[in-house]
Amino acid sequence: MDFTENTCREFVSVLASKEPVPGGGGASALVGAIGTALGNMVGSLTVGKKKYADVEQEIIALKAKCDDLEKQLLDQVPADAEGFAPLAKAYGIPKDDPTREETLEKATLNACAVPVHIMELCCQSLDAIRVFAEKGSRLAVSDAGCGAVIVKAALQAASLNVFINTKSLKNRGEAERLNARCEEMLGTYCALADEIYESCRKRFLA
């Protein structure tokens, strides 16, 4: 089920229930899309303004990229639910079933894929928001800062949905590879999000 077709109230209600999906991964994807859209709004308020004519083409291209990022992030909401379903089913396999361990391992690895991708999309979003904050309309710079904070939260939240699964992987080499990839993204892009936030905050307090 594509929960992005629900109303906001319906989504939150299901999220708060005991239903297995949507969960942290789907919520991360939705939040990432919202943060990306906030950055994109800065671009929308910049295009067509004479004051920003020199950066207009760059902003237009960046807006197109963010349009695509928003769509991809929203697509990860149902993708995460679909990725988790085999894992939930695997946990129900009797412990004396000889196929349980292999099935569980494959399902656990598969469940890591979507949240890792969500993180990658959030990183791309933060790269775009940085430009919106630096070159976009000064009247909307707070929205760029808000977008950075929100996408950072999505990035961090998605990482936890990877780490909870890599912890149980039997293939420790693959687990360590995934963990290292996530830590790399967190280290680089949480710092970038903080820089964007601080840059915006200082403009208001100067």
Q: Identify the pLDDT of residue 205.
A: 87
- pLDDT computed for residue 109 by the predictor: 96
Per residue in 53-62, pLDDT tens? 999 999 999 9
Q: Are 149 and 197 in contact (CB under 8 A)?
A: yes
Q: Which residues of the chain have pLDDT under 50?
A: none
Contact between 155 and 123 under an 8 Å Cβ cutoff? The reply is: yes
